[in-house]
Amino acid sequence: MGRLFGTDGVRGVANADLTAELALGLSVAAAHVLAEAGTFEGHRPTAVVGRDPRASGEFLEAAVVAGLASAGVDVLRVGVLPTPAVAYLTGALGADLGVMLSASHNAMPDNGIKFFARGGHKLADELEDRIEAVYEEHRTGAPWDRPTGAGVGRVHDFDEGFDKYVAHLIAVLPNRLDGLKIVLDEAHGAAARVSPEAFARAGAEVVTIGTEPDGLNINDNCGSTHLDLLKAAVVDQQADFGIAHDGDADRCLAVDAVGNEIDGDQILAVLALAMREAGTLRGNTVVATVMSNLGFKLAMEREGVQLVQTAVGDRYVLESMKEHGFALGGEQSGHVIVLDHATTGDGTLTGLLLAARVAATGRSLAELAAVMDRLPQVLINVPDVDRARVATSAELATAVADAEQELGATGRVLLRPSGTEPLVRVMVEAADIEQARSVAGRLADAVKSALG
């Protein structure tokens, strides 16, 4: 069996890869592993369970809740809320475990399970490995030690989670958003209620799209992976800018007043300078991944801000931030972590802080984002290849070396297997967009040839 846990929990096609049986079994295994680790010692354990609006989340939530309760864990079911809300509530309510059912930006047929430890932090790799091992051990026959009678977990709906999370978001804003007109695209996802409520309470005039989830339309040509609707709406409504989230709202991308995309690198740059000005950018450092645009690195150097780069994945950004005590980090995709106020990427919080900076400075989002120049960057996803052989293929190594020689010091190449989908990502940066496209196309063909 391949490793179930990727860089962002367990994902797959719901009811095919990710079944009710798997969800139940992993939940029981998680309860047992955390009990072994001493997390539950001396008290009756509690878990917070939330989901995005996918239809499959309904039966998967039932399976997770059943698994946890059968293992003696009391469950607070918070319903449809963003991933960062579940993480926040896990910490704020003193829960021992948080579980979020979502496949984030993936298409509707997929779903996923993400576990949070006490405090709302992602589980360490070794705990995920242990959960997987324990699950497999019991899946093949070893019986669970199950409580009976009063020892079984109780299940309660925690409807106050919505207001508690929105109040938290408003409380951390440095200033109000009065006078701003903002279009929000919620991707028919988990933040369809939360984000518009938070922006409105903060004083913004809010126009919404993608706020009518029906279980089937999440991420469907909307949200942070499909910005065309938002771009058109911002221009049509003559709004100051637009904000887009993904299905579980741990991401935030933006669109300026004329419809230009503002990506995660630019958002990080704006927030880094705002936090430095406020004295909250600890270590005068921002953490980003190797996927960040070279223009971001150059801008931070010019502004005197240190940059630490990690492997791709917000969990690696977070690990570096926690290890060194840094306050800000994120990814080009729009995962932004403000560690003083969140334990994971929080798209709504990011959007609010970005809007607060616009309101406080009186400058347009386009003007603020112009602190960095994005070098042309081409990303090609190559599906249906053996992503495990990226690092060992001699044919691919030769192709990469040839590409790097052609680009010289004015560009770079990055090949990496996706941690959440069965594909290889080919990224090429160059001073000239046509050269970037040409090199990326040749490398994508080389990936298909070497790994197909």
User: What is the pLDDT tens value at each position of the chain, 452 positions in all?
Assistant: 457 888 778 999 999 999 999 999 999 999 999 999 998 988 999 999 999 999 999 999 999 999 999 999 999 999 999 999 999 999 999 999 999 999 999 999 999 999 999 999 988 889 999 999 999 998 887 788 899 999 999 999 999 999 999 999 999 999 999 999 999 999 999 999 999 999 999 999 999 999 999 999 999 999 999 999 999 999 999 999 999 999 999 999 999 999 999 999 999 999 999 999 999 999 999 999 988 998 898 899 999 999 999 988 888 899 999 999 999 999 999 999 999 999 999 999 999 999 999 999 999 999 999 999 888 889 999 998 888 888 888 899 999 999 999 988 778 899 988 876 778 999 999 988 999 999 999 999 999 988 88
Residue 250 among known ligand-binding residues = yes
Look at residue 130 in the predicted model and tell me its pLDDT: 95
- Cα separations in angstroms, 17 against 66, 112, 140, 261, 429: 19, 10, 18, 34, 35
Look at residue 136 in the predicted model and tell me its pLDDT: 92
SS3 state at 287: strand
The rounded distance, in Å, linking the Cα atoms of 186 and 206 is 12
Look at residue 2 in the predicted model and tell me its pLDDT: 57
Look at residue 7 in the predicted model and tell me its pLDDT: 74
Give the CATH fold of the 377-451 domain.
TATA-Binding Protein (3.30.310)
List residues bridging with 415 in a β-sheet: 426
pLDDT in tens, 121-165: 988 889 999 999 999 998 887 788 899 999 999 999 999 999 999
Say yes or no: do domains 164-369 and 377-451 share a fold: no
β-pairing, 46-51 with 74-80?
parallel
The rounded distance, in Å, linking the Cα atoms of 335 and 251 is 5
The highest-level CATH class for domain 164-369 is: alpha beta
Known catalytic residues? 104
As a whole number of Å, the CA-based R_g of the chain is: 22
- Cα separations in angstroms, 119 against 225, 315, 341: 30, 15, 12
Q: Which residue has the tokens 């009186």?
A: 362
pLDDT in tens, 205-262: 999 999 999 999 999 999 999 999 999 999 999 999 999 999 999 999 999 999 999 9
Look at residue 420 in the predicted model and tell me its pLDDT: 67
| Residues in contact with 411: Cβ distance below 8 Å, sequence separation at least 6, in sequence order | 294, 375, 428, 429, 430, 431, 435, 436, 439
Domain definitions of the chain by residue range: 5-159, 164-369, 377-451
The rounded distance, in Å, linking the Cα atoms of 384 and 400 is 20
pTM for the full model? 0.89
Look at residue 1 in the predicted model and tell me its pLDDT: 43
Question: By the 8 A CB rule, do 429 and 377 touch?
Answer: yes
Q: Which two tokens stand for residue 434?
A: 């046509």
Look at residue 171 in the predicted model and tell me its pLDDT: 97
Helix ranges (DSSP H) in 243-309: 264-278, 294-303
Residue 248 among known ligand-binding residues = yes
Residue 104 among known ligand-binding residues = yes
Question: By the 8 A CB rule, do 293 and 331 touch?
Answer: no
Residue 393 among known ligand-binding residues = no
Decide which of 3.40.50.300, 3.40.120.10, 3.40.228.10, 1.10.10.60 is the CATH code for 5-159: 3.40.120.10
Question: By the 8 A CB rule, do 234 and 205 touch?
Answer: no
